[in-house]
Structure 1
Amino acid sequence: MIHLPVLITDLGLILAAAGITTLLFKRIKQPLVLGYILAGLLVGPHIKFIPTVTDNESIHIWAEIGVIFLLFSLGLEFSFKKLVKVGGSASITAIVEVVFMLLIGFVAGLAMGWSTMDSIFLGGILSVSSTTIIIRAFEELGVKHKKFAGLVFGVLIVEDLVAILLLVLLSTLAVSQQFAGAEMLVSILKLCFFLVLWFIGGIFLVPTFLKATKKLMNDETMLVVSIALCLLMVLLAVKVGFSPALGAFIMGSILAETTQAERIEHLTKSVKDLFAAIFFVSVGMLINPSILIDYAVPILIITLATVFGKFLSSGLGALVSGQPLKTSVQTGLSLAQIGEFSFIIATLGVTLKVTSDFLYPIAVAVSAITTFTTPYLIKFSEPFYMFLERRLPKKWVEGINRYSSSTAGITTLSDWKTLLKSYTFNLIIHSVILIAIVFLGSRYLQPFITKNLINGNNGIVISLIMTLFIMTPFLWALAIRRIEKKAYSHLWLNKKYTRGPLVALEVLRIGLAIFFVGILIYQFYSTWISIVIAIALIVSCMFIFSRRLQGFYNKLESRFLLNLNAREAQNAPPEILPWDTHLVELSVAPESTLVGKTLVDLSVREKYGVNIALIQRGKIMIPTPGRNERLYPNDKVLVIGTDDQLAAIKELFEGSIDENMQSSFPKEDMSLQKIVINSSSPVYGQTIRNSGIREMTQGLVVGIERNGNRILNPDSTLIFENGDIVWIVGNNKKVPDLLK
């Protein structure tokens, strides 16, 4: 008789149960994740009236693979470039929310009599919202074009990175079983070091490899290569002491910056869906229904803590970051749930055997309840804001509006700030690279050469010379390379106050370069005389061959930037004005009544109060289009207006708002900005029409705040006065010139 392995039987049972519950949950329009968890509960060991899984160990291995592909997929959607473009509002909101929810979870756990470790993991579970659930809810409710959605997506991007940090910190804490501040700091520094190193190395190598092999890559080969790259980074992450999930996430974020990102995401989606389904089913298998009954009260308490805690912390964070009350309320209610990262954190506690058996099913139950409540909370957010506005003291509402208005817009960067920012980036990036080269040279290159090629002192000398040769371009960039020449020259001309600090900065740079050289040589020789001689020779060579080193380094930098910018920059969440106006992209459907009409014929500003800031027609960009410009099928139009105005004009575009918030529409140079007019401003005393703002900044004046009064869509004959706060949608590189 033919014997069928137990693993295949169990896998068939899991997928059959998952398939049935998937169809059921599709029918009732609920998240599939909950269906998978229900399937796991049914085939798990706690329900006996249907066949159950018997080889739990193998299923857990498959579930680990599911976590890897789930994090790989999240990394493909993450992108470090998106994180840089997120902006201060989303970053502040996310940080405030995470810190508050960590504290709320920890305090709630202790109040219920749980152990310290259970309480810490509960805080971690509650601190991260669900990207999948929020995106699905936004799509179903049709609110992705509203301004608070951009802020929510930015918060989710920051939360993804925070969740990765939490995985590392909780792993360290679970292993050490003590709150060692020094150990935690080392873990954070180690994580930051490898994040920077992997990102720099990955962006330099992976896109280059994909470009070189592009002609050989059919879909099958691309799928195999993508999964191989993912698993190689997983192996590397485990090798240096991190979790497999971190490695998968990092490789996904690296591939997200390549021109093949969409293709890779499409090809790996089926693989991710399969293994992620097994992971979520394994989540359900760990749920004991009797525990849910016994812990019904804690589940209710934690659910309420999640909803109210996230609403208050996210709303407070949004207010602190300068958002209006309406946006803050909508953001807080949108983020009031937990999801996939919470499962992974809970799984970590079970795997490391540091949390109690009841914590995992409680987390799943809370996630299920908050998943159901999320769409209703989002729908309820605007009426709740209107209720708050009526109930809150008028002075409070006015104070929030003034604070929001004062914190919005652009600020001028001083030369010192610009210079210090560039010097800091230069120091961090090249220090990480040099430390990595020193480590690889002393730990791997030197032993390999002395054992396999040349023994004794000659092998050590050759290893040292090769390592120094590799380090030299980066030593030059750290110590000698001229950064922000314009800001530096401005500061240097101020002899009295700035030359001293500038000289100190240059001495610090050279000192760091010498320090890294000394550290390297000390790994090979312990004689200080030889170290001093070698450092003197290296420094001399750096100055003598400075021009050649500059040329070589410029080639490396150009290659890196070419790879980094190969994929068109993703849409950044727009800055939000105190009038509730924001930028959104609309597409002109071929059957739209707008096709063929000029902007003056459409009169969208007069009829709807919106402004058209930019038109993309294929690869052609038309910033601040003229009144005689016509709209054609499939034009992508960048429009500024309020939520209500955009909802009204959306019908003209026949509901063709781009549902992909992260489309490749290159509008990063267009943004809403604020300038303050004074008596020395070039436009002072001139009308809007005669000021040349349209010509100088490719911009439109969309609002003026004068003596506390707001004028939306001002007439072109209005004259600029001293103290006017002027809001412009235009080229963010040209608008600051108006401040000069």
Structure 2
Amino acid sequence: MSVGEDLLTLGLLLVVAYVLGRLAKLIGLPSIPVYMVVGLLASPHSGWFPLDFHSGDIELIAVFGLILLLFSLGLEFDQEEFFDNAGKLLISGGSYVLINMGLGFAFGMMVGWGTREALVIAGMTGTSSSAIITKLLIELRRLANKETPMILGVTVVGDIFIAIYLAIVSVVLSGKTEVWPIVLQLGIAFLFLIVMFSLARWGGKVVSRLVRTKDDELFTILFFGLAVLFAGIGEIIGVTDAIGAFLIGVVLGASTYRAKIERVAVPLRDVFAAFFFLNFGLALNVAEFGSVILVVVIAVVMTFVLNLVSGMLLARLNQMGIVEGMNAAGILVNRGEFTLILATLSIGAGLDHRLQPFAGLYVLTMAVLGPLFASNSERIGGALRGKKRTPPRRAALRNPMLEEEIALVEAATAGQRAGSRDDIDRAVTRVVDTAHATDAAADRANTQPVDPMIDFITDNRPPRQTDQGEHQGDYS
């Protein structure tokens, strides 16, 4: 096929992706499954698209998409938030990772595809999608919610875990069986992680001076070049291009130019990421879904159950309620780009070919059910908690009491000047009578008494003298 036909086909695919994406937004779905479906429709395995288009035609652009996805993930890593609240975040995020990854690995072993495949499946089912989480928090207007800092904290810990996990997976997928080569490669991988995180933590000012330029064009070329360069370094030293791009993103995110990089990087990421997801869809074969559909169904059910348990546990650890726990579960349950990244890595390593259709069908299913669950999580949490009747507003009942309290003060003041105890008693009697009437109204409305001063006045009212002589005592 000629270049013109390639461009025509690719342009048509992107336009179709736009149309389907607009429709998906109407029902609250993210764009990731839309791009995959478009690729699936155009896949040579399906034959549903009138033009011939192959995954290899956009493979390099798809790699750029993978690099920018991880680069942006590193760029958004909030190291100040992490180091300032490291203990609390590690407990919350560590609990989430331990539950989901541990049982995800057990599930992978039960599938019976192999130990390396089980490790990949654990990553696919145990790690949330940062991109979908961020978009859902914005679109559902939950950024100010009580549970949102907890969710973002778990995401931060998840980002660090992804870096460590990818370093381990890259060694496992390398196929090495001798102990010392594995130890050496792991040592290099962790040294790379330590150096880059240390540079991000303490070298922010140095990095800022190195990347400083007023020319936006050259600035864009610089950060894109660094992302590609460190992706290549990561690939060469055996920690994958994805982790190299992530780490340089963490370093540049620590500079004073983070906001400027984000303004340029986000549109680039969205464009190139579309090619990545489109390319993954092109490689899918619908005919292979039948061999993994049962495994996918079990994985989906397991993911929802584990996230419900994790969400409630996180809420309990952070002293929150059922609604906050349900909201956390609804947001964190979403899976997306990282699952596809792992599937891409497993294909390159020659693992079981069923991992690709498993990842594709799993992400397609989760990308639909996850946002739907998130959008209804508050309603579900409220139903589980059992909504209590909201007390009526008490402003209307409070005004008469304020007037009586003022009258009491005025009477007491007048009594002090004129020496009239009867004025004070009459004022106190009016306040207490009004208090009793207000309590009765509150009981009928199933509310508490209106003002604590009522109890104080009632409990501390001095006994009325019954002697016929002068009233004794000073009540001013």
Q: TM-score range by the shorter chain?
A: 0.7 to 0.9
User: Matched residue of 1:63: which SS?
Assistant: helix
The answer on whether the counterparts of 2:335 and 2:366 sit within 8 Å (CA) in structure 1 is yes
Q: CA deviation at 1:185?
A: 6.3
Indicate the larger mover: 107-116 or 89-98: 107-116
The Cα offsets for residues 517-576 of structure 1, whole Å up to 9 and x where unpaired, read as xxxxxxxxxxxxxxxxxxxxxxxxxxxxxxxxxxxxxxxxxxxxxxxxxxxxxxxxxxxx
User: Matched residue of 2:347: which SS?
Assistant: helix
The answer on whether the counterparts of 2:327 and 2:377 sit within 8 Å (CA) in structure 1 is yes
Q: CA deviation at 1:199?
A: 3.5
Match of 2:325 among 323, 328, 343: 328
- Where does residue 215 of structure 2 map in the other structure? 218
The answer on whether the counterparts of 1:67 and 1:276 sit within 8 Å (CA) in structure 2 is yes
Q: CA deviation at 1:352?
A: 1.2
User: Matched residue of 2:147: which SS?
Assistant: helix
2 CA distance for matches of 1:86 and 1:186? 33
- Where does residue 117 of structure 2 map in the other structure? 118
The answer on whether the counterparts of 1:237 and 1:246 sit within 8 Å (CA) in structure 2 is yes
1 CA distance for matches of 2:92 and 2:220? 37
- Where does residue 279 of structure 1 map in the other structure? 276
The 5 Å alignment of 1:38-49 reads 38-49=37-48
The 5 Å alignment of 1:107-506 reads 107-176=106-175, 189-201=187-199, 207-208=205-206, 210-211=208-209, 214=212, 216-320=213-317, 326-354=323-351, 356-385=352-381
User: Matched residue of 1:78: which SS?
Assistant: coil
2 CA distance for matches of 1:47 and 1:65? 26
**Counterpart amino acid of 2:267?**
S
Specify whether residues 286 and 5 from structure 1 end up closer, same or farther in structure 2 by C-alpha distance, changes over 3 A only: same
The answer on whether the counterparts of 2:171 and 2:186 sit within 8 Å (CA) in structure 1 is no
2 CA distance for matches of 1:14 and 1:211? 42
Specify whether residues 187 and 156 from structure 1 end up closer, same or farther in structure 2 by C-alpha distance, changes over 3 A only: farther
- Where does residue 507 of structure 1 map in the other structure? none
User: Matched residue of 2:232: which SS?
Assistant: helix
2 CA distance for matches of 1:380 and 1:3? 48
User: Matched residue of 1:283: which SS?
Assistant: helix
Q: TM-score normalized by structure 2?
A: 0.73
User: Matched residue of 2:47: which SS?
Assistant: coil
The answer on whether the counterparts of 2:330 and 2:371 sit within 8 Å (CA) in structure 1 is no
1 CA distance for matches of 2:139 and 2:178? 44
**Counterpart amino acid of 1:138?**
L
Show structure 1 runs of 5+ residues with no match. 391-605, 607-713, 716-740
2 CA distance for matches of 1:179 and 1:383? 54
- Structure index of larger Rg: 2
Specify whether residues 358 and 141 from structure 1 end up closer, same or farther in structure 2 by C-alpha distance, changes over 3 A only: same
The Cα offsets for residues 671-702 of structure 1, whole Å up to 9 and x where unpaired, read as xxxxxxxxxxxxxxxxxxxxxxxxxxxxxxxx
**Counterpart amino acid of 1:319?**
R
User: Matched residue of 2:169: which SS?
Assistant: helix
2 CA distance for matches of 1:50 and 1:333? 35
2 CA distance for matches of 1:37 and 1:115? 27
Indicate the larger mover: 23-32 or 41-50: 23-32
2 CA distance for matches of 1:78 and 1:351? 28
**Counterpart amino acid of 1:227?**
F
Specify whether residues 234 and 108 from structure 1 end up closer, same or farther in structure 2 by C-alpha distance, changes over 3 A only: closer
Q: CA deviation at 1:342?
A: 1.4
Specify whether residues 187 and 310 from structure 1 end up closer, same or farther in structure 2 by C-alpha distance, changes over 3 A only: farther
**Counterpart amino acid of 1:146?**
N
1 CA distance for matches of 2:324 and 2:219? 42
1 CA distance for matches of 2:319 and 2:239? 37
1 CA distance for matches of 2:313 and 2:305? 12
- Where does residue 423 of structure 1 map in the other structure? none
Length, aligned pairs only: 392
User: Matched residue of 2:50: which SS?
Assistant: coil
User: Matched residue of 1:147: which SS?
Assistant: coil
1 CA distance for matches of 2:379 and 2:18? 38
**Counterpart amino acid of 1:32?**
S
**Counterpart amino acid of 1:338?**
R
- Where does residue 419 of structure 2 map in the other structure? none
Specify whether residues 154 and 44 from structure 1 end up closer, same or farther in structure 2 by C-alpha distance, changes over 3 A only: same
The 5 Å alignment of 1:571-586 reads none
The 5 Å alignment of 1:708-727 reads none
2 CA distance for matches of 1:152 and 1:265? 22
1 CA distance for matches of 2:384 and 2:17? 43
2 CA distance for matches of 1:232 and 1:262? 21
1 CA distance for matches of 2:262 and 2:382? 41
The 5 Å alignment of 1:524-603 reads none
Q: CA deviation at 1:7?
A: 5.6
**Counterpart amino acid of 1:279?**
F
Q: RMSD over aligned Cα, in angstroms?
A: 3.4
Q: CA deviation at 1:104?
A: 2.2
Q: CA deviation at 1:81?
A: 2.8
The answer on whether the counterparts of 1:6 and 1:55 sit within 8 Å (CA) in structure 2 is no
1 CA distance for matches of 2:385 and 2:22? 43
User: Matched residue of 2:49: which SS?
Assistant: coil
**Counterpart amino acid of 2:20?**
T
Specify whether residues 353 and 344 from structure 1 end up closer, same or farther in structure 2 by C-alpha distance, changes over 3 A only: same
Identity of aligned residues (%): 25
2 CA distance for matches of 1:352 and 1:6? 32
2 CA distance for matches of 1:10 and 1:347? 24
Q: CA deviation at 1:277?
A: 0.7
Q: CA deviation at 1:344?
A: 0.8
Q: TM-score normalized by structure 1?
A: 0.48
Q: CA deviation at 1:251?
A: 1.2
**Counterpart amino acid of 1:226?**
F
User: Matched residue of 1:106: which SS?
Assistant: helix
**Counterpart amino acid of 1:158?**
V
1 CA distance for matches of 2:358 and 2:86? 35
1 CA distance for matches of 2:178 and 2:104? 17
User: Matched residue of 2:260: which SS?
Assistant: helix
The 5 Å alignment of 1:502-521 reads none
Q: CA deviation at 1:177?
A: 6.1
Q: CA deviation at 1:36?
A: 0.6
2 CA distance for matches of 1:114 and 1:274? 35
The Cα offsets for residues 85-122 of structure 1, whole Å up to 9 and x where unpaired, read as 34433322222222222232233233344333322211
Q: Which has the higher contact order (CA 8 A, sep 6+)?
A: 2
The Cα offsets for residues 368-400 of structure 1, whole Å up to 9 and x where unpaired, read as 22222334433544454455557xxxxxxxxxx
User: Matched residue of 1:71: which SS?
Assistant: helix
1 CA distance for matches of 2:47 and 2:202? 54
* Structure with the higher fraction of residues in strand conformation: 1
* Structure with the higher fraction of residues in helix conformation: 2
Specify whether residues 135 and 179 from structure 1 end up closer, same or farther in structure 2 by C-alpha distance, changes over 3 A only: farther
Q: CA deviation at 1:242?
A: 1.9
The 5 Å alignment of 1:80-95 reads 80-95=79-94
